[in-house]
Structure 1
Amino acid sequence: MITSPHQRYQQTQLHTAPPSQLLLMLYDGAIRFVRMGISGIEEGNFEKTNTNLCKAQAVIHELTAALNFDYPIAKNLSQVYEYMIHQLINANMKKNKKPAEEVLSYLLDLREAWDTASKSLNANVDNV
Protein backbone atom coordinates (compact mmCIF):
# COMPACT_ATOMS: atom_id res chain seq x y z
CA MET A 1 0.00 0.00 0.00
CA ILE A 2 1.38 3.39 -1.01
CA THR A 3 1.15 5.85 1.85
CA SER A 4 3.81 8.51 1.58
CA PRO A 5 3.76 11.34 -0.97
CA HIS A 6 7.22 10.22 -2.14
CA GLN A 7 5.93 6.71 -2.87
CA ARG A 8 2.94 8.12 -4.75
CA TYR A 9 5.27 10.33 -6.79
CA GLN A 10 7.51 7.36 -7.64
CA GLN A 11 4.49 5.26 -8.64
CA THR A 12 3.17 8.04 -10.89
CA GLN A 13 6.62 8.51 -12.43
CA LEU A 14 6.83 4.79 -13.15
CA HIS A 15 3.42 4.67 -14.83
CA THR A 16 3.91 7.79 -16.94
CA ALA A 17 7.56 7.49 -17.99
CA PRO A 18 8.37 6.76 -21.64
CA PRO A 19 10.10 3.40 -22.34
CA SER A 20 13.53 5.02 -22.72
CA GLN A 21 13.18 6.58 -19.26
CA LEU A 22 12.04 3.27 -17.75
CA LEU A 23 15.14 1.61 -19.17
CA LEU A 24 17.37 4.23 -17.57
CA MET A 25 15.51 3.76 -14.28
CA LEU A 26 16.26 0.04 -14.43
CA TYR A 27 19.94 0.74 -15.03
CA ASP A 28 19.96 3.24 -12.14
CA GLY A 29 18.47 0.62 -9.86
CA ALA A 30 20.94 -2.08 -10.90
CA ILE A 31 23.85 0.33 -10.45
CA ARG A 32 22.62 1.34 -6.99
CA PHE A 33 22.17 -2.28 -5.89
CA VAL A 34 25.59 -3.39 -7.19
CA ARG A 35 27.24 -0.47 -5.38
CA MET A 36 25.45 -1.41 -2.17
CA GLY A 37 26.48 -5.05 -2.65
CA ILE A 38 30.11 -4.00 -3.06
CA SER A 39 29.77 -1.86 0.05
CA GLY A 40 28.44 -4.90 1.92
CA ILE A 41 31.47 -6.95 0.88
CA GLU A 42 33.82 -4.18 2.01
CA GLU A 43 32.02 -3.92 5.36
CA GLY A 44 31.87 -7.68 5.86
CA ASN A 45 28.07 -7.37 6.00
CA PHE A 46 27.13 -10.45 4.04
CA GLU A 47 23.39 -10.03 4.51
CA LYS A 48 23.63 -6.59 2.86
CA THR A 49 25.81 -8.09 0.14
CA ASN A 50 23.41 -10.93 -0.60
CA THR A 51 20.28 -8.76 -0.51
CA ASN A 52 21.64 -6.13 -2.86
CA LEU A 53 23.43 -8.38 -5.33
CA CYS A 54 20.24 -10.47 -5.61
CA LYS A 55 18.24 -7.29 -6.24
CA ALA A 56 20.74 -6.31 -8.94
CA GLN A 57 20.29 -9.73 -10.56
CA ALA A 58 16.51 -9.26 -10.52
CA VAL A 59 16.85 -5.89 -12.27
CA ILE A 60 19.15 -7.40 -14.89
CA HIS A 61 16.56 -10.13 -15.45
CA GLU A 62 14.04 -7.32 -16.08
CA LEU A 63 16.45 -5.74 -18.57
CA THR A 64 16.66 -9.10 -20.33
CA ALA A 65 12.88 -9.45 -20.38
CA ALA A 66 12.60 -5.98 -21.95
CA LEU A 67 14.75 -6.91 -24.95
CA ASN A 68 13.15 -6.84 -28.37
CA PHE A 69 14.64 -9.73 -30.31
CA ASP A 70 13.47 -8.25 -33.60
CA TYR A 71 16.79 -6.37 -33.48
CA PRO A 72 20.11 -8.24 -33.79
CA ILE A 73 21.70 -6.34 -30.89
CA ALA A 74 19.21 -7.92 -28.48
CA LYS A 75 20.97 -11.30 -28.69
CA ASN A 76 24.30 -9.67 -27.83
CA LEU A 77 22.78 -7.72 -24.95
CA SER A 78 21.13 -10.89 -23.68
CA GLN A 79 24.53 -12.59 -23.55
CA VAL A 80 26.07 -9.59 -21.76
CA TYR A 81 23.24 -9.58 -19.21
CA GLU A 82 23.65 -13.33 -18.69
CA TYR A 83 27.37 -12.81 -18.07
CA MET A 84 26.64 -10.02 -15.59
CA ILE A 85 24.24 -12.24 -13.65
CA HIS A 86 26.88 -14.98 -13.56
CA GLN A 87 29.47 -12.50 -12.26
CA LEU A 88 27.09 -11.21 -9.56
CA ILE A 89 26.42 -14.76 -8.41
CA ASN A 90 30.17 -15.34 -8.35
CA ALA A 91 30.76 -12.15 -6.33
CA ASN A 92 28.00 -13.09 -3.89
CA MET A 93 29.12 -16.69 -3.37
CA LYS A 94 32.80 -15.83 -2.93
CA LYS A 95 32.22 -12.43 -1.28
CA ASN A 96 34.65 -11.02 -3.81
CA LYS A 97 34.02 -7.49 -5.02
CA LYS A 98 36.06 -7.78 -8.25
CA PRO A 99 33.32 -9.50 -10.31
CA ALA A 100 30.74 -7.03 -8.96
CA GLU A 101 33.00 -4.11 -9.86
CA GLU A 102 33.30 -5.50 -13.39
CA VAL A 103 29.50 -5.67 -13.65
CA LEU A 104 29.24 -2.13 -12.29
CA SER A 105 31.56 -0.84 -15.03
CA TYR A 106 29.43 -2.55 -17.71
CA LEU A 107 26.21 -1.17 -16.25
CA LEU A 108 27.63 2.36 -16.14
CA ASP A 109 28.80 2.11 -19.76
CA LEU A 110 25.50 0.68 -20.99
CA ARG A 111 23.48 3.27 -19.06
CA GLU A 112 25.53 6.05 -20.63
CA ALA A 113 25.06 4.56 -24.10
CA TRP A 114 21.27 4.26 -23.66
CA ASP A 115 21.08 7.77 -22.24
CA THR A 116 22.97 9.15 -25.24
CA ALA A 117 20.77 7.18 -27.66
CA SER A 118 17.63 8.37 -25.91
CA LYS A 119 18.72 12.01 -26.08
CA SER A 120 19.64 11.62 -29.74
CA LEU A 121 16.27 10.06 -30.52
CA ASN A 122 14.42 12.82 -28.64
CA ALA A 123 16.42 15.48 -30.47
CA ASN A 124 15.49 13.90 -33.82
CA VAL A 125 11.80 13.76 -32.84
CA ASP A 126 11.87 17.42 -31.77
CA ASN A 127 13.36 18.43 -35.15
CA VAL A 128 10.64 16.71 -37.18
Structure 2
Amino acid sequence: MINARSTYMDASIATASPARLLVMLYERLVLDVTRGLDAQRAGDVQAAHQQLLHAQDIVLELRSSLRTEEWDGGPGLASIYDFLHTQLVRANVGKDSTVTESCLALVTDLCQTWRAAALQAASVA
Protein backbone atom coordinates (compact mmCIF):
# COMPACT_ATOMS: atom_id res chain seq x y z
CA MET A 1 0.00 0.00 0.00
CA ILE A 2 2.81 2.42 0.87
CA ASN A 3 4.55 1.71 -2.45
CA ALA A 4 1.35 2.45 -4.39
CA ARG A 5 0.92 5.74 -2.52
CA SER A 6 4.53 6.68 -3.19
CA THR A 7 4.16 5.87 -6.88
CA TYR A 8 0.99 7.96 -7.05
CA MET A 9 2.65 10.92 -5.31
CA ASP A 10 5.70 10.70 -7.58
CA ALA A 11 3.46 10.70 -10.67
CA SER A 12 1.40 13.61 -9.30
CA ILE A 13 4.51 15.69 -8.78
CA ALA A 14 6.07 14.74 -12.12
CA THR A 15 2.96 15.75 -14.08
CA ALA A 16 1.95 18.85 -12.11
CA SER A 17 2.20 22.32 -13.60
CA PRO A 18 4.57 24.80 -11.94
CA ALA A 19 1.59 26.60 -10.38
CA ARG A 20 0.24 23.32 -9.00
CA LEU A 21 3.67 22.40 -7.64
CA LEU A 22 3.80 25.71 -5.80
CA VAL A 23 0.36 25.12 -4.31
CA MET A 24 1.37 21.58 -3.30
CA LEU A 25 4.44 22.98 -1.54
CA TYR A 26 2.31 25.52 0.32
CA GLU A 27 -0.19 22.83 1.29
CA ARG A 28 2.64 20.77 2.75
CA LEU A 29 3.92 23.86 4.57
CA VAL A 30 0.49 24.38 6.15
CA LEU A 31 0.40 20.70 7.12
CA ASP A 32 3.86 20.83 8.70
CA VAL A 33 3.11 23.95 10.74
CA THR A 34 -0.26 22.51 11.80
CA ARG A 35 1.38 19.27 12.91
CA GLY A 36 4.12 21.22 14.67
CA LEU A 37 1.55 23.27 16.55
CA ASP A 38 -0.44 20.18 17.49
CA ALA A 39 2.73 18.51 18.77
CA GLN A 40 3.69 21.61 20.78
CA ARG A 41 0.26 21.67 22.37
CA ALA A 42 0.56 17.96 23.18
CA GLY A 43 4.00 18.49 24.72
CA ASP A 44 5.75 16.32 22.10
CA VAL A 45 8.91 18.38 21.69
CA GLN A 46 10.61 15.99 19.25
CA ALA A 47 7.64 15.77 16.87
CA ALA A 48 7.19 19.54 16.97
CA HIS A 49 10.89 20.00 16.24
CA GLN A 50 10.79 17.67 13.21
CA GLN A 51 7.66 19.28 11.74
CA LEU A 52 8.93 22.82 12.22
CA LEU A 53 12.34 21.91 10.76
CA HIS A 54 10.62 20.59 7.64
CA ALA A 55 8.52 23.76 7.45
CA GLN A 56 11.72 25.82 7.67
CA ASP A 57 13.21 23.78 4.80
CA ILE A 58 10.16 24.49 2.65
CA VAL A 59 10.35 28.22 3.35
CA LEU A 60 14.06 28.22 2.47
CA GLU A 61 13.24 26.43 -0.80
CA LEU A 62 10.50 28.94 -1.60
CA ARG A 63 12.88 31.79 -0.83
CA SER A 64 15.79 30.40 -2.85
CA SER A 65 13.62 29.76 -5.92
CA LEU A 66 12.05 33.22 -5.84
CA ARG A 67 13.22 35.44 -8.68
CA THR A 68 12.77 38.83 -7.05
CA GLU A 69 13.87 40.75 -10.13
CA GLU A 70 11.14 39.31 -12.35
CA TRP A 71 8.14 41.02 -10.76
CA ASP A 72 7.40 44.02 -8.58
CA GLY A 73 6.11 41.94 -5.66
CA GLY A 74 9.23 39.77 -5.53
CA PRO A 75 11.19 41.76 -2.92
CA GLY A 76 8.13 42.00 -0.66
CA LEU A 77 7.51 38.26 -0.87
CA ALA A 78 11.19 37.63 -0.15
CA SER A 79 10.84 39.71 3.01
CA ILE A 80 7.80 37.68 4.05
CA TYR A 81 9.73 34.44 3.53
CA ASP A 82 12.67 35.78 5.56
CA PHE A 83 10.34 36.86 8.37
CA LEU A 84 8.49 33.55 8.31
CA HIS A 85 11.71 31.54 8.48
CA THR A 86 12.92 33.59 11.44
CA GLN A 87 9.60 33.09 13.22
CA LEU A 88 9.59 29.34 12.57
CA VAL A 89 13.09 29.08 14.04
CA ARG A 90 11.96 31.16 17.02
CA ALA A 91 8.87 28.99 17.53
CA ASN A 92 10.97 25.84 17.35
CA VAL A 93 13.85 26.92 19.56
CA GLY A 94 11.60 28.61 22.10
CA LYS A 95 8.96 25.87 21.93
CA ASP A 96 6.48 28.73 21.64
CA SER A 97 3.06 27.69 20.37
CA THR A 98 1.92 31.33 20.20
CA VAL A 99 4.59 32.06 17.60
CA THR A 100 3.71 28.84 15.78
CA GLU A 101 0.05 29.93 15.70
CA SER A 102 0.99 33.21 14.05
CA CYS A 103 3.13 31.32 11.53
CA LEU A 104 0.20 29.04 10.77
CA ALA A 105 -2.07 32.03 10.13
CA LEU A 106 0.49 33.50 7.74
CA VAL A 107 1.17 30.30 5.79
CA THR A 108 -2.56 29.55 5.57
CA ASP A 109 -3.18 32.99 4.05
CA LEU A 110 -0.27 32.55 1.63
CA CYS A 111 -1.52 29.10 0.63
CA GLN A 112 -5.03 30.40 -0.05
CA THR A 113 -3.64 33.29 -2.08
CA TRP A 114 -1.44 31.07 -4.25
CA ARG A 115 -4.26 28.54 -4.67
CA ALA A 116 -6.57 31.32 -5.92
CA ALA A 117 -3.86 32.65 -8.25
CA ALA A 118 -3.24 29.19 -9.67
CA LEU A 119 -6.96 28.68 -10.28
CA GLN A 120 -7.22 32.06 -11.96
CA ALA A 121 -4.19 31.35 -14.15
CA ALA A 122 -5.63 27.97 -15.13
CA SER A 123 -8.95 29.51 -16.12
CA VAL A 124 -7.24 32.12 -18.31
CA ALA A 125 -5.10 29.55 -20.09
Interval containing the TM-score (normalised by the shorter chain): over 0.9
Partner of 1:68: 67
Q: Does 1:33 align with 2:32?
A: yes
Residue ranges of structure 1 left out of the alignment (5+ in a row): none
Q: Does 1:78 align with 2:78?
A: yes
Residue 4 of structure 1 deviates from its aligned partner by 0.5
Take 1:25 and 1:65, find their aligned partners in 2: how far apart are those partners? 17
| TM-score of the superposed pair, with normalisation by structure 2 | 0.93
Runs of 4+ in 1 over 4 A off after TM superposition: none
Worse-matched range after superposition: 70-79 or 48-57: 70-79
Q: Does 1:107 align with 2:107?
A: yes
In the alignment, is the contact (CA less than 8 A) between 2:30 and 2:111 conserved in 1?
no
Identity of aligned residues (%): 25
Spell out, residue by residue over 1:41-100, the C-alpha distance to the aligned partner (whole angstroms, 9 max, x if none).
111111001100000000111111221221121111111011111111111111111111
Take 1:68 and 1:88, find their aligned partners in 2: how far apart are those partners? 22
Q: Specify the SS of the correspondent of 1:95.
A: coil
Take 1:68 and 1:97, find their aligned partners in 2: how far apart are those partners? 32
1:41-52 correspondence runs (5 A): 41-52=40-51
1:15-30 correspondence runs (5 A): 15-30=14-29
- Which amino acid letter does the alignment assign opposite residue 60 of structure 1? V
| TM-score of the superposed pair, with normalisation by structure 1 | 0.91
Residue ranges of structure 2 left out of the alignment (5+ in a row): none
Give the superposed CA RMSD. 1.1
Count residues in correspondence.
123
Residue 123 of structure 1 deviates from its aligned partner by 1.3
Partner of 1:88: 88
